[in-house]
Structure 1
Amino acid sequence: MKQVVQNYKSGELALLDVPVPGCKPNGVLVRSAYSLISTGTELMKVSEAGMSMLGKARSRPDQVAKVMQSVATNGMSATYRKVINQLDSYTPLGYSLCGVVEQVGAGIDDVAVGDLVACAGNEHALHAELNWVPKNLYTPVPDGLAPRHAAFGTVGSIALQGVRRGEPQLGDVALVIGLGLIGQLVVQLLAASGVRVIGVDPDPVRCELAARLGAAACGDPGSAAVESSVAELTDGHGVDQVYLAAGGGSNQPVELAARLSRDRGRVVDIGKCRLDLPWNAYYEKELDVRFSRSYGPGRYDPEYELEGRDYPIGYVRWTERRNLACFLDLLARGRVDTDPLISHIADFDDAVKTYQRLKDGELKAVAVLFRYPDAAEHPIEAEAPAVAVPTVRRSGGASTPTTRSVTSPVRLAFVGAGNYATSMLLPHLAQRDGVELSTVVTTTALSAVNAKRKFGFAEATTELDAVLEDPSVDAVFVVTRHNSHAELTRRALLAGKAVFVEKPLALTEDELAGVLAAVEESGNDRLQVGFNRRFAPLLRQARKRFGTRSGPANVRYLVNAGRLQHGSWYLQQGSQGSRFAGEGGHFIDTVSWLLGADPTSVYAVATPGNEDLQIVLRYPGGSTATLSYVTTGSPGFPKETLDLIADGKVLRLDDFVRASVHGRKRWSSPRLSNARDKGQRAELDAFLEAVRTGGPMPVPLESLVATTAATLAVQTGLVSGAPVTLTRTR
């Protein structure tokens, strides 16, 4: 097998053929898929190896002290031979990788051959095609997490342990000095913990990256902007913690830490920073200086690392291995994003050239990955992730839809009376013939009373059960926040009500399965999701003008979504899902309706921070759709523009204001003079007609399920970095 090695005496870097390591007990043999170059630690070693003997001595005074002690004990001649022998030997590089278990040693029962694992350790997770890794230095990779992202596990654990040492709390303000690889991860981990972060680095590109990944402010260490940001965010008190993630020989980081810390703040050294502490400054504020030792408890303990003896969780909550697993979980759940940190992926065969380019400054990078020869054929990487499109079953005790007489009104209940309900739905229903607004349910009493007063509801309450148990209520509208949609829909279906639920129907596959379980149990499939655009009169007219399609189509859909106002609950991704998860179903449903089919696969990529998404949908018959969902565009540009191209014709929709069809004959609609009609009224008409007559719901339930699954697949694709297959379950 091949392995990257370095001769510390000559500075030579080489890709050597070496024997395959044996698979010893209490460990596994791992074939590398991706390994990560630490552009801090490893490049420091590479640079030191190229120095003269005097330069090496100056850069490592700790090793010089050991040499002098050896001289005093063993004599000059013996010490010289020992030092030269060590310097003139090949040493390995690397300590963070992801790979596939090739062989399992005795005593291992938590992984099997073929499993994907992340590995740590500068003796066990080397830049080599195969590594033997002891039990406490690997952990299984969560489903759906791409190997190239899992390769960040070790450096992520270093950042995570540093954050743990700082003991941040919700609402704290922290300063991260040094925005290299570790610093960028520390910024994201702190932001995910509810901490406001200020980043410091002389490189404006790294400052910009940290700002995109969650830092509240960033700047050069000598700039007044950093100090003013600290003063503004802390009311002049200073930051609660400082994380030193910088290297080099300057003492500026520790001096800046003292100046910007609050009284009795904490200073955590994560990197290899010069620490000539200014005594007066640290004493007067009684600063708590802490060190973060690598990946966490267990590091440098041979009984833990080599013999696999774990520390009891009741005494040591976060060990090396548990930190590694925790960081991978954060990656898999999208709390940390490593994609923007990957500056370059090099083939392993080009390892020596890659190191040289980094050393010479030709390749400027935050993180560089080696891709191994087998990575392309790696079974887990090659196998596209999948999201299930559940089959709709109606095998329960089927309920017969009620047919209303012409004179009998359809009685509606609303669960939720927020902005969308009161501006886009209720104005079309209030004072409408054949409709009675029965009850409005909200979590706060006053909002229910306001809705009752404005729109004429007969009752206002905060008790949902009363509505579900009322036999006179024909249909329930679920217009609440996203995380409650699936559960409220499930309960209403089980109560035998027709349900109109605003998008999204569900935020997870489990939630979607729960809704369909309620359909199967009750036999009640009277469900409509608020995908209103397929009902827009202008778009329906354009589709009719386009005519029947015979060949595959290409659809381009640009959604200029724009920025959200600060404080919008749409930004609460932890509880409400991503912004696209909440809104994206609109656009996928529109495309599927235009093409008359459901998507078969989804491929999604994003700019750093997932601000702008580019999504490719594949459909049966070779049709494709490209959906651009962007938040960084001009607010003056139209929100939605769509083109459908097929059979020598083009359908164009300009933001529901004008539509046109170009073919042998050209048709163009007049420009609408009033507000855009995106189909809400027509959608409600169709739903009410179905409830009144007992006829089919406006959109088949199978289509609603397929659109929801495709929307969920976008997040899966962003995490995995691969196309996601939409598989039909049976």
Structure 2
Amino acid sequence: MKQVVQNYKSGELALLDVPAPECKPGGVLVRSDYSLISTGTELMKVSEAGMSMLGKARSRPDQVAKVLQSVASNGVPATYRKVMGKLDSYTPLGYSLSGVVERVGAGIDDVAVGDVVACAGNEHALHAELNWVPKNLCTRVPDGLAPRHAAFGTVGSIALQGVRRGESQLGDVALVIGLGLIGQLVVQLLAASGVSVVGVDPDPVRCELAERLGAAACGDPESAAVESCVAELTGGHGVDQVYLAAGGGSNQPVELAARLSRDRGRVVDIGKCRLDLPWNAYYGKELDVRFSRSYGPGRYDPEYELEGRDYPIGYVRWTERRNLACFLDLVARGRVDVEPLVSHVADFDDAVETYRSLKDGDLKAVAVLFRYAAPAGETAGAAAPAVAVPPVRRGGAASVPARPGTGRSAAAPVRLAFVGAGNYATSMLLPHLARREGVELSTVVTTTALSAVNAKRKFGFAEATTDLDAVLGDPSVDAVFVVTRHSSHAELTRRALLAGKTVFVEKPLALTEDELAGVVSAVEESGNDRLQVGFNRRFAPLLREARKRFGVRTGPASLRYLVNAGRLEHGSWYLRQDTEGSRFAGEGGHFIDTASWLLGADPVSVYAVAASGDEGGGDLQIVLRYPGGSTATLSYVTNGSPAFPKETLDLIADGKVLRLDDFVRASVHGRRRWSSPRLSRVRDKGQRAQLDAFLRAVRTGGPMPVPLESLVATTAATLAVRTGLAGGAPVTLERTR
């Protein structure tokens, strides 16, 4: 089998072929699915291995003391040989993983062969294809929890034990210093416990992530905003607990902890940071300094860890193993979300290069996972299907305007150009724009002269042309609408972005992963991220009112969306799959975007089944999985009755149900019931409200109505349906960095 090792003397990292471990009594043999790189603990070890001998000595004064004691007892030559022998050996890396039990040792009766388990321990849960793990260092993974999320079990237990040591209570205010992997988990655990959390980290990206995951506010340790936020939340008294989750040699964390703690507050050290306590500050407030020892009671006790002797629950409520099981349960129930922490997933064969990229700073990450050959639930010997969600980077060339719309006069009319003037443009968009105050229809571009003339006459365009380059080069045009056939959307959008235009493109944004990557590359190249895709349903007034009546969601949700699409007429260009993509590829983004908007997140995986095996003409059943345990089931059917409503939707969470009946009626059932009056006029699916929001963004230069990252994620999820149908397995949406 293969295992990641390091030579502490030379710093060499290697992926070695080593003998597989035996299955001994008192434990289980586990084949790894995913293992987690601790970007704090493990990278510190990797960095230390690359130091000079003097540097190693300075970083580990405890080991130096042992060496000096050995010199006194055994002499210099013997001690030298002993130390060099130990340094010049391969040592393992890793301590947190998930996998499948292959064999069960004697004395094990609560785990069976085939069970998915989470494992802990820096001698047992290693970055290796096979590990023997003692009973008290592994636990079964709850049903439905993804193996990649279960791999966080050990680091989650570390964070959980730290929170337990702080003895937080409902309504407390806590400060978390250091928003790396452990800090992010501490933030979520505290927030789930009803504690208001303020985070501190010099990295603004990590601060933003912590705020998304539940922190009330985050900032740089030097920022006055952190102190003012603490003062506001605590009435000037200071925080109840401080959790030190930072590393490094600076004494700033413990000094900041003293300054922002209340009288007799608690300071809990979870990480490995410098602890030169300023005596006057800590004495003056009589601060309670506590240490959190790794995963919990049982750690470093060989009778517990190796011999399997549990502590009675009446005396020790939370042991290592019980902490591990508790954290997995929190993730499975959506109380803790680890998916946003996954910065990168690497194949195990690329382990050495991944460590080097992390050490050199080429890979910026909170958490990195190694993916082994065949994770649970996936076909052995086959790579798990995945669709890339390309990262949105906003670079920018100096020759392209930095932000379309920022230099225009607020009083000037918004000048629009249309590329395409087909049925949808002339029936659903242009009627809302023609002769509208503050809007000027500048130019319409079509491939045939007559259609351009018809659009000009009917809607009042100033010009009609077949020359797209002339429109893209016209500095007076504020925004370009791309309303052509599907196959041209991505390329036209890319060209308009590179020309510095704000762009409204009808769905779909792209028909292939390469096309999607090309659009995102145009954003990076030009610095122009002013893009909107015609996902109008999230703007529908009836649905927005129902969402408002439903209220804030706290737990995981189940969403059911039935689309009674009906059959297409013979000869419809929607059936030209070879050039225009499938029917679902063309309009499926509408429904995925609506689900994502209602659930407040982007999907992380897609599973699709076609009743007829034909994505283009058959009925589709699609399951979307979201962070936090929420799911959306989309039934896209073509053989239903035309008398039945086209779209019906149910959102179920927190003891409440939201129902939408084809944009005609909506209701919310919960503690209070609300039902809208039945609309007697034409269904409003949000086109006008979407155009209002788009024009407002163009006119003011403000944010676009939908974040670009969400548009990209929805498009990738739509493309994943085709990938899933071809592979017959769930498709992971991989967010690269």
Q: TM-score by structure 2 length? A: 0.59
Q: Does 2:611 align with 1:620?
A: yes
- What are the Cα deviations for residues 439-486 of structure 1, in whole angstroms up to 9, with x where unaligned? xxxxxxxxxxxxxxxxxxxxxxxxxxxxxxxxxxxxxxxxxxxxxxxx
Aligned to 2:162: 162
Aligned to 1:89: 89
Aligned to 1:315: 315
Aligned to 2:332: 332
What is the 5 A alignment of 1:486-501? Answer: none
The one-letter code sitting in structure 1 at the alignment partner of 2:665 is Q
Aligned to 2:434: none
Aligned to 2:665: 680
Aligned to 2:538: 559
Change (3 A) 1:130 1:53: same
The Cα shift of 1:383 comes to 14
Asked if the contact 1:176–1:198 (Cα under 8 Å) also holds between the matched residues in 2, the reply is: yes
The Cα shift of 1:85 comes to 0.7
Distance 2:138 2:54 in 1: 38
Asked if the contact 1:187–1:214 (Cα under 8 Å) also holds between the matched residues in 2, the reply is: yes
Question: Structure 1 residue aligned with 2:600, among 599, 607, 611?
Answer: 611
Aligned to 2:272: 272
Asked if the contact 2:547–2:598 (Cα under 8 Å) also holds between the matched residues in 1, the reply is: no
Distance 1:147 1:629 in 2: 14
The Cα shift of 1:559 comes to 2.3
Distance 2:12 2:383 in 1: 39
Change (3 A) 1:371 1:629: closer
What is the 5 A alignment of 1:645-684? Answer: 678-680=663-665
Secondary structure in structure 1 of the residue aligned to 2:209: helix
Asked if the contact 1:612–1:628 (Cα under 8 Å) also holds between the matched residues in 2, the reply is: no
The one-letter code sitting in structure 1 at the alignment partner of 2:41 is T
The Cα shift of 1:558 comes to 4.0
Aligned to 2:428: none
Secondary structure in structure 1 of the residue aligned to 2:101: strand
Asked if the contact 2:32–2:131 (Cα under 8 Å) also holds between the matched residues in 1, the reply is: yes
Q: Any gaps of 5 or more consecutive residues in structure 1?
A: 385-554, 631-641, 648-652, 657-675, 687-716, 725-730
Aligned to 1:122: 122
Distance 1:607 1:366 in 2: 24
- What are the Cα deviations for residues 401-438 of structure 1, in whole angstroms up to 9, with x where unaligned? xxxxxxxxxxxxxxxxxxxxxxxxxxxxxxxxxxxxxx
The Cα shift of 1:73 comes to 1.5
Distance 2:61 2:369 in 1: 31
Aligned to 2:483: none
Change (3 A) 1:129 1:629: closer
> Mean Cα displacement is larger for which, 560-569 or 61-70?
560-569
Aligned to 2:554: 573
Change (3 A) 1:151 1:380: farther
Aligned to 2:32: 32
Q: TM-score by structure 1 length? A: 0.59
Distance 2:334 2:20 in 1: 36
Aligned to 1:41: 41
Aligned to 1:197: 197
Aligned to 1:409: none
Change (3 A) 1:156 1:88: same
Distance 1:360 1:349 in 2: 19
The Cα shift of 1:375 comes to 2.4
What is the 5 A alignment of 1:173-212? Answer: 173-212=173-212
The Cα shift of 1:373 comes to 1.5
Q: Any gaps of 5 or more consecutive residues in structure 2?
A: 385-533, 569-583, 627-633, 640-644, 649-660, 668-674, 679-723, 732-737
The Cα shift of 1:379 comes to 6.2
The one-letter code sitting in structure 1 at the alignment partner of 2:552 is L
Change (3 A) 1:569 1:172: farther
Change (3 A) 1:564 1:77: farther
Distance 2:205 2:308 in 1: 42
The one-letter code sitting in structure 2 at the alignment partner of 1:185 is L
Distance 1:257 1:568 in 2: 41
Aligned to 1:78: 78
The one-letter code sitting in structure 1 at the alignment partner of 2:225 is A
Distance 1:242 1:190 in 2: 11
Aligned to 1:292: 292
What is the 5 A alignment of 1:244-643? Answer: 244-375=244-375, 378=378, 558-560=537-539, 570-574=551-555, 578=557, 581=558, 584-585=559-560, 588-589=561-562, 591-592=563-564, 611-614=600-603, 620-621=611-612, 622=615, 624=620
Distance 2:163 2:381 in 1: 31
Aligned to 1:428: none
Secondary structure in structure 2 of the residue aligned to 1:373: coil
Distance 1:93 1:626 in 2: 39
Change (3 A) 1:610 1:228: farther
The one-letter code sitting in structure 1 at the alignment partner of 2:357 is R
The Cα shift of 1:74 comes to 1.5
Secondary structure in structure 2 of the residue aligned to 1:46: helix
Distance 1:160 1:72 in 2: 42
Change (3 A) 1:13 1:627: closer
The Cα shift of 1:570 comes to 2.8
The one-letter code sitting in structure 2 at the alignment partner of 1:196 is S
Asked if the contact 2:564–2:637 (Cα under 8 Å) also holds between the matched residues in 1, the reply is: no
- What are the Cα deviations for residues 534-569 of structure 1, in whole angstroms up to 9, with x where unaligned? xxxxxxxxxxxxxxxxxxxxx977424899999987
The one-letter code sitting in structure 2 at the alignment partner of 1:244 is L
The Cα shift of 1:685 comes to 11
Change (3 A) 1:192 1:74: same
Secondary structure in structure 1 of the residue aligned to 2:374: helix
Asked if the contact 2:157–2:323 (Cα under 8 Å) also holds between the matched residues in 1, the reply is: yes
The one-letter code sitting in structure 2 at the alignment partner of 1:322 is R
Distance 1:678 1:133 in 2: 55
Aligned to 2:148: 148
The one-letter code sitting in structure 1 at the alignment partner of 2:78 is A
Distance 1:202 1:685 in 2: 52
The one-letter code sitting in structure 2 at the alignment partner of 1:329 is D
Asked if the contact 2:243–2:267 (Cα under 8 Å) also holds between the matched residues in 1, the reply is: yes
Asked if the contact 1:177–1:200 (Cα under 8 Å) also holds between the matched residues in 2, the reply is: yes
Distance 1:569 1:39 in 2: 40
Secondary structure in structure 1 of the residue aligned to 2:250: coil
The one-letter code sitting in structure 2 at the alignment partner of 1:559 is R
The Cα shift of 1:77 comes to 1.3
The one-letter code sitting in structure 2 at the alignment partner of 1:265 is G
- What are the Cα deviations for residues 242-286 of structure 1, in whole angstroms up to 9, with x where unaligned? 000000000000000000001111000000010000001001111
Distance 1:609 1:342 in 2: 23
Asked if the contact 2:538–2:544 (Cα under 8 Å) also holds between the matched residues in 1, the reply is: no
The Cα shift of 1:111 comes to 1.0
The Cα shift of 1:75 comes to 1.3
Asked if the contact 1:96–1:153 (Cα under 8 Å) also holds between the matched residues in 2, the reply is: yes
The one-letter code sitting in structure 2 at the alignment partner of 1:571 is V
Change (3 A) 1:383 1:556: farther
Change (3 A) 1:151 1:629: closer
Asked if the contact 1:558–1:627 (Cα under 8 Å) also holds between the matched residues in 2, the reply is: no
Asked if the contact 2:34–2:371 (Cα under 8 Å) also holds between the matched residues in 1, the reply is: yes
Distance 1:610 1:681 in 2: 17
Aligned to 1:521: none
Change (3 A) 1:32 1:604: farther
Secondary structure in structure 1 of the residue aligned to 2:551: helix
Change (3 A) 1:610 1:96: farther
Secondary structure in structure 2 of the residue aligned to 1:559: helix
The one-letter code sitting in structure 2 at the alignment partner of 1:620 is A
